């Protein structure tokens, strides 16, 4: 049982695990009910939409958002908090990136990697 420090709250930055926008981060703009939230990720290309909590993995980031903040406000707060860089620096994001690179390696890349490891 991990630390209970990541809460579902307005402004919580969440990672979308599956669906069309899988792999992107967004902010929770509003909580609808037990299972659903309104998310918005203008800086990461996520449209403002309703999302089921089961699809979201909460990150340790939280931005100061008023509830039901419109997209422009979310964008403003996001860029002010420099969330894009902060996210990229996390080992989570780094792991995702390395996994992506590994799957997209061409045969020649794999050869070069194998050689480099020797």
CB of 28 to another protein, least distance (A): 33
Euclidean distance between CA atoms 72 and 78, whole angstroms: 10
Integer distance in angstroms from the first to the last C-alpha of the chain? Answer: 40
Phi, psi of 69 (to 5 degrees): -65, 140
Q: What is the DSSP letter of 63?
A: -
The site map against another protein for 46-85 (x = CB under 8 A) is ----------------------------------------
**118: contact with another protein by CB under 8 A:** no
d(CA 91, CA 102): 16
Q: Which stretch binds another protein (CB under 8 A): 15-23, 58-66, 80-88, 106-114?
A: 106-114
108 binds another protein (CB under 8 A): yes
Q: Strand, helix or coil at 3?
A: coil
Stretch that binds another protein, among 7-15, 50-58, 83-91, 104-112 (CB under 8 A): 104-112
- Chain residues binding another protein by CB under 8 A are 103-108, 111-112, 115
């Amino acid at each position: 049982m991990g630390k209970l420090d990541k809460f579902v709250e307005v402004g919580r930055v969440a990672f979308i695990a599956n669906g069309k926008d899988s792999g992107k981060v967004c902010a929770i703009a509003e909580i609808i009910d037990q299972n659903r939230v309104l998310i918005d990720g203008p800086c990461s290309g996520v449209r403002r939409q309703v999302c089921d909590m089961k699809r979201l993995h909460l990150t340790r980031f939280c931005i100061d958002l008023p509830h039901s903040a419109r997209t422009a406000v979310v964008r403003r707060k996001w860029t002010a908090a420099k969330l894009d860089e902060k996210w990229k620096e996390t080992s989570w994001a780094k792991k995702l990136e390395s996994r992506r690179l590994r799957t997209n390696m061409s045969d020649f890349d794999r050869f070069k990697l194998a050689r480099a490891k020797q």
